Structure 1
Amino acid sequence: MFRLAHISDIHLSPLPALTLRELISKRITGYINWRSNRKDSMTGGTLDTLVADMKTQAPDHIAVTGDLVNLALDEELETAQRWLKTLGDPADVSVVPGNHDAYVPGALKKTRRFWAPWMRGDREASANSPVEFPYLRVRGDVALIGVSSARATAPFMATGDIRERQARKLGEILDETGERGLFRVIMIHHPPVRGAAPSHKRLLGIGLFQRTVRKHGGELILHGHTHLATRYEIEGPSWKIPVICVPSASQGFGGNQNHRPPAAFNLFAIAKTNAVWSCQMVERGIVDEHMTIRTIREHDLTVGAVLTSV
């Protein structure tokens, strides 16, 4: 059995001091949003409590699906690098970037450099090559496939995208790992499901992504971005593929954004019995103002099961 933990939308705090030059950009809107909506409700104490509980579950691997920072300032990227070192060895933690990690032009290039050890595929790591997406990591019978939907956008926009080159390579990786009989987990920040995010936050290229997995397959898709605990499904070659989101790992109980669920993580127990994959999902998260963490729900995500949105 392989135990995979999933967290997302870390939004490390507090924000470092910004210069006037840094504010004269899209960052001014993000700074105002942070001060008015996130400063008091998304805290490092919540994140620390959640991660401590997650580690007691002894996962074999941790998937982090983006938005580690807020405005992609250099100091934030360095802080996130230090945080990743505390989260786990790069071989045991896989990261894909989110829109906040690519907040302004040029930021994503820096993000890839600062967090490279956690975003390199196995081939790139062995050759110490630059980060490329999608990447492939194989751990036991599980293939971890990292797709980047991150891009810099205009003010008040938080869209992501996937384009033909990345989709084509994703299909090749899915074919290769499918032929090897691996359980294929695709990690992406934006939800690849229509209607899962408002138009100014959606993934551009949802149709391309869905056509790719419909043709080439996959067993599980993990994403973040919406800060919600949701389950969807999209069509695979002859089965339904679960699409799972997790709340922000820093969201406190209540606060200014009390319409958002408090911090949680998902734990997936992946196993194969008589050549049939099974996957049990456990949701654990904060349940009260004392930051008590408990199991919230459990789901059987056996490949091929028909899932409904929740």
Structure 2
Amino acid sequence: MQPYRFAHLSDPHLPLAPDRPRGLQWLSKRTLSYQSWQRRRRYAHTPAMLGAIVDDIRAHQVDHWAVTGDIANISLPGEFRRGADWLRSLGDGRQVSYVPGNHDAMVPVDFADGLGLWADYLRGDGQGEVSFPYLRQRGPVAFIGANSGVPTAPLLAQGHLGPEQRERLGDMLADAARRGLFRVLMVHHPVAEGVVSSRKGLTDRHNLRDLLARTGAELLLHGHAHRANLSMIRGPLGPIPSLTAPSASAIGYHHDMPARWHLVTVDTDGPDWQVQVEVRGVESQGTPVKALGGWRLRLPVAGA
């Protein structure tokens, strides 16, 4: 089998300007988040940094892009339109897989004016409509996208999957295992304990971890924390790597980690998956994107 290479990046947080809340849009959680953007976050994320990360990914000619949420900042219609343009700049729906983040779901938005504009990047194989979770097979890899982005109360940034989504997810993971695929589960909110505070956590992460302990997966991909993290989740054949990426547009302002992305190479060696994760990014603002480290993982093939 030829090695299959894909990029994992997260939390691009495209510039909010020229948008701002108007009229009744001020009477929502958007107001506090807009103030946060104006005071701090617009300085923390820059198009130049995101452009450098995207250019580095392009230079590596990856087979697929996995993006784990938060194109938007406060879920304004203009952000979804510009987000659609940005996704198209990476590739079409066959080349790019996306899952929503909490900033993409800050408040309820009509599907046609919101996530519907990104539908080509959210649909599973054979799906006519967007439905979560989804599964897209690309080479030996099953990219499985779950949606943890839900509107929450002010000052909270939690995520939630819910029992229906978890039930379908269990069926997808089990079916992909029977087909001998390398299962990559994409969820914006980290699943491991301690990566983010409870105020920002996945509320049903314990249920999801119980599910993964039964069905397994080969790799979990997350964003949301704005910091890098590699944790291990219990699986039926051994630990499951749970990989969190910082924001792809972050300059390292205050407590945020500077931008990084993950180059993941999947290959086989006998009965096992051989996985190489190369961490690429910047050490600080103004420095070039380069290799910062990485891991080699040997993972058993489910159903082998």
TM-score (ref. length: structure 2) = 0.94
Report if aligned partners of 2:16, 2:79 keep a CA contact under 8 Å in 1: no
Provide the C-alpha distance between the structure 1 equivalents of 2:114 and 2:190, rounded to a whole number of angstroms.
Answer: 21
Give the deviation of 1:174 after TM superposition: 0.8
Per the alignment, in what secondary structure is the counterpart of residue 283 of structure 1?
strand
Task: For residue 258 of structure 1, report the CA deviation from its aligned partner.
Answer: 2.8
Aligned partners of 1:8, 1:249: CA distance in 2, in Å?
6
Tell me if structure 2 keeps the 8 A contact 1:72–1:107.
no
| Inter-partner Cα distance in structure 2 for 1:242 and 1:74 | 35
Partner deviation per Cα, 1:79-124 (whole Å, 9 max, x = no partner)? 0000000011210100000000001023667433110000000111
CA contact (8 A) 1:66 1:96 kept: yes
CA shift at 1:217, angstroms? 1.0
| 1:268-290 deviation line (CA, Å, top 9, x unaligned) | 01001213101110000012332
Choose the corresponding residue for 1:295, options 286, 291, 295: 291
Assess if the C-alpha contact under 8 Å between 2:19 and 2:76 holds in 1: no
Q: Measure the CA separation in 1 of the matches of 2:254 and 2:266.
A: 33
The answer on 1:274 being equivalent to 2:270 is yes
- 1:171 deviation in Å? 0.8
Kindly tell me: are residues 151 and 107 of structure 1, through their superposed partners in 2, closer, same or farther at Cα, counting changes over 3 Å? farther
Distance 1:189 1:108, change over 3 A: farther
**TM-superposed deviation, 1:177:** 0.7
- How do residues 102-251 of structure 1 correspond to structure 2 at under 5 angstroms? 102-106=105-109, 110-124=113-127, 129-251=128-250
| Partner of residue 72, structure 2 | 69
Mark the CA change 1:72 to 1:115 in structure 2 (over 3 Å): closer, same or farther: same
Distance in 1 of aligned mates of 2:40 and 2:156: 17
User: How many residues align structurally?
Assistant: 297
Distance 1:20 1:144 in 2: 40
Counterparts of 2:238 and 2:17, CA distance in 1: 44
Task: Provide the rounded CA distance (Å) in 1 between the counterparts of 2:111 and 2:229.
Answer: 27
2-side partners of 1:42 and 1:115: how far apart?
Answer: 22
SS in 2 for 1:161: coil
Separation of aligned partners in 2, 1:273 and 1:156: 47
Partner of residue 9, structure 1: 11
| Structure 2 stretches lacking a partner, 5+ long | none
Tell me the secondary structure at the aligned position of residue 67 of structure 1: coil
Q: CA RMSD in A?
A: 1.3
Cα offset for 1:17? 3.1
TM-score by length of 1: 0.93
Q: 1:81 to 1:161 in 2, by over 3 A?
A: same
Paired residues of 1:146 and 1:187 also in contact (CA < 8 A): yes
Conserved 8 A contact 1:210-1:235: yes
| Shift in CA distance, 109/197, structure 1 to aligned 2, threshold 3 Å | farther
Matched to 2:222, the amino acid is H
Is the 1:171–1:216 Cα contact (8 Å) retained in structure 2? yes
Rounded Cα–Cα distance in structure 2 between residues aligned with 1:285 and 1:23: 36
Cα deviation for residue 20 of structure 1 reads: 3.7
Task: Describe how 1:30-69 pairs up with structure 2 within 5 A.
Answer: 30-69=33-72
SS in 2 for 1:90: coil
Three-state SS of the structure 1 residue aligned to 2:126 is helix
**What corresponds to 2:84 in structure 1?**
81
Cα deviation for residue 14 of structure 1 reads 3.6
How far does residue 15 in structure 1 lie from its aligned partner after superposition? 2.7
What code does the residue aligned with 1:121 have? Answer: G
Identity rate, percent: 38
